[in-house]
Structure 1
């Protein structure tokens, strides 16, 4: 089966600190906590804490995991991006709120993204790009 336009997408990443990640993604960006799981004391090895964020009506969500017994260190590169197309100016108060909730504004590695948006690192070093552009599935030929 081929994934079509209705397929749900999960972006899964390790996190050092789910509370810090929640402050950035939920309190800073405004995503909704869709699901949360904390392993019970004495849970078997491999069971991890989980935080799912997104919007209830969206066909995607961001899943952040942390295994306190065997943590996986996030290893983002400058090309590990989550790009959100705003279709207009990036609100300055949103950038400030993201910075106040653990984010750090950085220069984009890609000049195109730097010209058309704002890049902010989350507490784990992954990059969020708020683009002034509008996404279209009709690419120029």
Structure 2
């Protein structure tokens, strides 16, 4: 693995519009691209332009995905600047997304956890990734 690699987190959803609102309005990510009826799937990619990561969410007509398998399925964003972290948390709350207690209490010490419409969780961590 090399630093120039890009990361795509891809998963299906049953909550298309609600998920778009959570990641775009709440987290402030941008819709980077989308597709319709590609071999029976619709998809959307959300992320920060130029960032080495993005999310892809898909749906397949007539197929039900179901909720996240556990409350400990996490994506963690490290926001070391306290002011930037506070803005990110306030944006989530302003769009109606309240923090939830983390399954693992470690994440509550320096972060806030939010649950997306599929039950997957996003942690906004006010810390630096140490590695």
Return the match for 1:93 from 77, 90, 102: 90
Identify the residue that residue 51 of structure 1 maps to in structure 2.
Answer: 44
Identify the residue that residue 128 of structure 1 maps to in structure 2.
Answer: 122
> Over the residues paired in the alignment, what is the CA RMSD in angstroms?
1.7
Contact kept in structure 2, 1:18 and 1:51, CA below 8 Å = no
| Alignment partners' CA distance in 1, 2:33 and 2:92 | 25
| Alignment partners' CA distance in 1, 2:20 and 2:92 | 16
Larger Rg: 1
Identify the residue that residue 21 of structure 1 maps to in structure 2.
Answer: 19
Return the match for 2:113 from 116, 119, 122: 119
| Alignment partners' CA distance in 1, 2:14 and 2:91 | 24
Change (3 A) 1:23 1:95: closer
When the two structures are aligned, how many residues end up with a matched partner?
127
TM-score, length of structure 2 as denominator length: 0.87
* 5+ residue gaps, structure 1: none
Change (3 A) 1:76 1:88: farther
| Alignment partners' CA distance in 1, 2:110 and 2:74 | 14
Secondary structure of the residue aligned to 1:56 is coil
* 5+ residue gaps, structure 2: none
